[in-house]
Structure 1
Amino acid sequence: MTTGFFWDESCFWHAGGNYAFTMPIGGLVQPLAAGGLPENPETKRRLKNLMDVTGLTSQLASQSAPPAAYEDLARVHPKSYLDEFKRLSDAGGGELGRRTPFAAGGYEIAALSAGLALAAVDKVASGALSNAYALSRPPGHHCLPDFPNGFCLLANIAIAIEAAQSKGLAKRVVVLDWDVHHGNGTEGIYYDRDDVLAISLHQEGNYPLDTGALTDRGTGVGEGFNINLPMYAGSGHTAYLHAMDRVVIRAIEAFKPDMIIVACGFDASMVDPLARMQATAETFAEMTRKIKATAERLCDGKLVLVHEGGYSEFYVPFCGHATIAALAGLENVAPDPMQIGFDIRQPSAAFDAFLRQSIDDMAIQLEV
């Protein structure tokens, strides 16, 4: 079994805000900081560094990939959007939507980020790799076809799906989004289609505020192929695993996909500054094991994880390391520092039972 790891140093050079500074940014001038935005390169760079130090990287098929071509981007995004994005990027940077600033060269870096996801999906769907992880940055799951938001400039996963479908490599695809924020971009793109099952586990009432309701199930032929699980703040390890067993895996089994793609955010962790959940590194590792086993049963193990959010520079590397080790079927040799000598305040038994019951209630409403 070969697990691919797709990454590129250039993705760490995406500048999410300091385009407005007087210092020159772009080309060979590496950004000095994230410009005050929580989406910054250090969570991803530190993950890659940790993997290098432990030797995990050397056990994977580590590689870069070409940027997604214009024709790949245009299957999801209209020409008017792509052309304006490129124009602003060439002019030194700007902002097209909500919370999506970029510096000079932002278009090329975003296309590269999408290209990493596209290549990972292509090589797994074609059988060249067993499964894969794409360390994409900027992220993509909030991006609508003509409106970027939430740090997302291109819809990385949708671009990868459309490319695979255009080549006949996959027909029916599941997108499981366990980023703590609702995957509104993926939902919007596939809301009226029945060939992609979109499932989002997210903190209720987080970002975006006006999407992610349990009752949003799709429209037209897509009705029933969009599943939202808005989970209560405070949900931790057992609640997430219960959601996987009670809703996610059952829904995927009923759908019978050709492959599974995970929008893999680590912002449901217990120390993330943009959320109020209680997941640990082992939570993400165990969810990965569960979805990997599901993929092996249903679609020859064809599974790709694409990096999304996660804003703790300290903890994301350990969550990511545990996840990628689980994906590759390897021992995790980077012990979770939050499990060593710390008083981890997990939910009480009563609150945990309440959280599990809330998931059961949603499953009944979803008829899963």
Structure 2
Amino acid sequence: MTTGFFWDEKCFWHAGGAYALTLPIGDYVQPLAAGGLPENPETKRRLKNLMEVSGIVQDLEMQSAKPATWSDLARVHPESFLKKFKETSDAGGGELGLRTPFLKGGFEIAALSAGLAKEALAQVLEGTLDNAYSLSRPPGHHCLPDWPNGFCLLNNIAIAIEAAIAANQATRFAVVDWDVHHGNGTEAIFYDRDDVLTISIHQEHNYPLDTGDACDRGTGTGTGYNMNIPLPAGCGHETYLDVIDRIVTPALMEYAPDVIIVACGFDASAYDPIAQMLCSADTYRQMTARMMDTAAKLCDGKLVLVHEGGYSEAYVPFCGHAVMEQLSGSPHTAPDPMADTLSQRQPGPRARAFQQDLVTDLAKDLLGA
């Protein structure tokens, strides 16, 4: 496999502005921040550092990318929003939505984050890479066209998809969002379209509180092409794999996309501070394996993962490394230090029976099966 890993040091420099203690230290030192939001650079930086230490970077195509252009952004976001974002960024930073603070230069960093996703998708579609991972930051799946929220300033995946459409690289896309929070932004952008199948697996009403219900299936020509899989707190390894096997994979097989894109959040892990799920690094490895198998059957293996949430500085790196091991087939490993503990923390028989029944009901509602 030829696996790309897209990252850029500047994406680690996005900082929280009004939510953090920041010092005016110039343009060539990462901003100092303390007491800010859970979305911070350390989970991503420590993933990249672990990959360096394990040696897996030797088996990846490590690269950066150009920022998404204004035209790229404007295919998803209104000019009025982009102008306000750029003006606020140039003036020193601020906050335009809900929980989306940024400093001076925040617009450029967000465009770079989107550019990483855009380039990852483009290279997979053109066949330069078999699959790819984009370590995008700030994340994107909560950002609506004209209103950023939930740490997301631009919708990275939507921008990448629209760029691919504009370049005539593909016509049918599937987005599988396994971030623990509902992918409300991506849903809203493609809600009335049938050229993008959106599937979100999330903890029910964690964030946002008022979106992500299973009955929200799209509108107009998009009816049936939006799927929400809300799960109760406490779901773990087996339930997530059940959802992939019994709902996600059949939906993908029926839709037959040209490429599968995963909104890859690691906040369904058992150690995430703002969610209550019980997934492990092996959960993410096995979900990735299933997505690879489905992509091989449908679209010559074309698979792109774009980083979203995940807020455990100690555990996200191992989850991410497991994904990269699976994507690339690399022999360089980083064994999960919490594997034995997590195997003992999984739901018991009664909870599993309830969760299996729930997945059965969701499969009937969403697939008619």
Same structural fold, with TM-score higher than 0.5 when normalized by the shorter chain: yes
Give the SS at the match of 2:309: coil
Cα gap change, 1:113/1:353 in structure 2, threshold over 3 Å: closer, same or farther? same
Asked whether the 8 Å contact 1:182–1:211 carries over to 2, the reply is yes
**Matching of residue 115 in structure 1 with residue 106 in structure 2:** no
2:343, 2:258 → 1: CA distance? 42
Asked whether the 8 Å contact 1:7–1:136 carries over to 2, the reply is yes
Give the SS at the match of 2:113: helix
- Equivalent residue runs for 1:193-342 within 5 Å: 193-331=193-331, 333-340=333-340
Cα gap change, 1:13/1:34 in structure 2, threshold over 3 Å: closer, same or farther? farther
Asked whether the 8 Å contact 1:140–1:156 carries over to 2, the reply is yes
Cα gap change, 1:209/1:25 in structure 2, threshold over 3 Å: closer, same or farther? farther
Asked whether the 8 Å contact 1:15–1:34 carries over to 2, the reply is no
Percentage of identical aligned residues: 65
Asked whether the 8 Å contact 1:206–1:275 carries over to 2, the reply is yes
1:92, 1:4 → 2: CA distance? 34
Cα gap change, 1:90/1:25 in structure 2, threshold over 3 Å: closer, same or farther? farther
1:266, 1:11 → 2: CA distance? 18
TM-score (norm 2): 0.97
Supply the AA of the counterpart residue of 1:186.
T
Asked whether the 8 Å contact 1:19–1:103 carries over to 2, the reply is no
TM-score (norm 1): 0.97
Give the SS at the match of 2:344: coil
Cα gap change, 1:24/1:234 in structure 2, threshold over 3 Å: closer, same or farther? same
Give the SS at the match of 2:109: helix
Asked whether the 8 Å contact 1:19–1:93 carries over to 2, the reply is no
Supply the AA of the counterpart residue of 1:112.
L
Cα gap change, 1:22/1:60 in structure 2, threshold over 3 Å: closer, same or farther? closer
2:80, 2:48 → 1: CA distance? 35
- Equivalent residue runs for 1:90-129 within 5 Å: 90-129=90-129
Cα gap change, 1:90/1:248 in structure 2, threshold over 3 Å: closer, same or farther? same
Q: What's 2:32 paired with?
A: 32
The structural deviation recorded for 1:344 is 3.5
Asked whether the 8 Å contact 1:117–1:160 carries over to 2, the reply is yes
Give the SS at the match of 1:199: strand
Q: What's 2:63 paired with?
A: 63
Supply the AA of the counterpart residue of 1:146.
D
The structural deviation recorded for 1:343 is 7.3
The structural deviation recorded for 1:329 is 2.0
Supply the AA of the counterpart residue of 1:232.
P
The structural deviation recorded for 1:29 is 3.3
Output one character per residue of 1:13-44: Cα deviation in whole Å (capped at 9) or x when no partner: 00023577562166223111254210000000
- Equivalent residue runs for 1:141-160 within 5 Å: 141-160=141-160
Cα gap change, 1:22/1:15 in structure 2, threshold over 3 Å: closer, same or farther? closer
Supply the AA of the counterpart residue of 2:275.
A
1:351, 1:277 → 2: CA distance? 13
Output one character per residue of 1:69-110: Cα deviation in whole Å (capped at 9) or x when no partner: 000000000100001000010011000000000001000000
Cα gap change, 1:39/1:25 in structure 2, threshold over 3 Å: closer, same or farther? farther
Cα gap change, 1:342/1:302 in structure 2, threshold over 3 Å: closer, same or farther? closer
Structure 2 stretches lacking a partner, 5+ long:
none
Asked whether the 8 Å contact 1:27–1:105 carries over to 2, the reply is no
Q: What's 1:41 paired with?
A: 41
Give the SS at the match of 1:62: strand
Q: What's 2:357 paired with?
A: 357
Supply the AA of the counterpart residue of 2:62.
S
Q: CA RMSD in A?
A: 1.4
2:154, 2:48 → 1: CA distance? 22
1:308, 1:42 → 2: CA distance? 14
Supply the AA of the counterpart residue of 1:149.
N
2:164, 2:134 → 1: CA distance? 16
Cα gap change, 1:268/1:26 in structure 2, threshold over 3 Å: closer, same or farther? farther
May I ask how many residue pairs the two structures share in their alignment?
368
Structure 1 stretches lacking a partner, 5+ long:
none
